[in-house]
């Protein structure tokens, strides 16, 4: 009997615009940065917030997503809150930032800073 493994889907999907922004961030990254990482620290009035930061070393349980512009990591402790999410980069005349369509979010604060699951 043989065991077959299949690739598991990524915890979240990055839009082409988000991938392009990651490429831009990595092109201007500080020395020693190996990628960009998404985490969901506890903060804000609803409980969890999205945080994107540079990474200087891999962490064993982080999800690793290879993009054309660089390596993107998802914090291992945040994966369950983000499964099925879509991460986009949106710019308009007044704001620019990552936007998340998260099917796990049950609510968010009025300013959009944080969310609940």
Residues 55 and 84: their CA atoms lie apart, in Å, by: 23
pLDDT averaged over consecutive 10-residue blocks of the chain (117 residues)? Answer: 70 93 95 94 76 94 90 92 91 89 74 61
Residue 24 token pair: 């831009």
Query: Do strands 70-74 and 35-39 pair parallel, antiparallel, or not at all (unpaired)?
Result: parallel
Which pTM value belongs to this model?
A: 0.82
Residue 112 lies in a domain: no
**Res 10: pLDDT:** 76
* Angle (CA) 29 33 36, round 5°: 80
- Domain enclosing residue 41, as ranges: 13-101
User: Which residue is it, tokens 């402790």?
Assistant: 77
**Res 2: pLDDT:** 76
CATH code at position 95: 2.60.300.12
**Res 88: pLDDT:** 94
Number of domains in the chain: 1
Residue 37 lies in a domain: yes
Contact at 8 Å (CB) between 117 and 110?
no
| 3-state DSSP assignment of residue 21 | helix
Q: How would you classify residue 106: left for phi > 0, otherwise alpha for psi between -120 and 50, otherwise beta? A: alpha
Residue 107 lies in a domain: no
What are 54-83's pLDDT values in tens digits? 999 999 999 999 988 899 999 999 898 888
Residue 8 lies in a domain: no
């Amino acid at each position: 009997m043989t065991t077959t493994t299949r690739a598991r889907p990524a915890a979240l999907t990055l839009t082409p615009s988000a991938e392009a922004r990651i490429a831009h961030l990595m092109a201007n990254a500080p020395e020693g940065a190996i990628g960009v990482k998404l985490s969901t620290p506890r903060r804000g009035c609803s409980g969890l917030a999205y945080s994107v930061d540079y990474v200087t070393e891999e962490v064993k349980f982080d999800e690793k997503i290879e993009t054309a512009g660089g390596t993107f990591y998802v914090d291992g402790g945040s994966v369950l809150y983000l499964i099925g999410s879509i991460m986009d980069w949106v710019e308009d005349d007044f704001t620019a930032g990552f936007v998340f369509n998260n099917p796990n979010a049950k609510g968010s604060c009025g300013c959009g800073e944080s969310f609940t699951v």
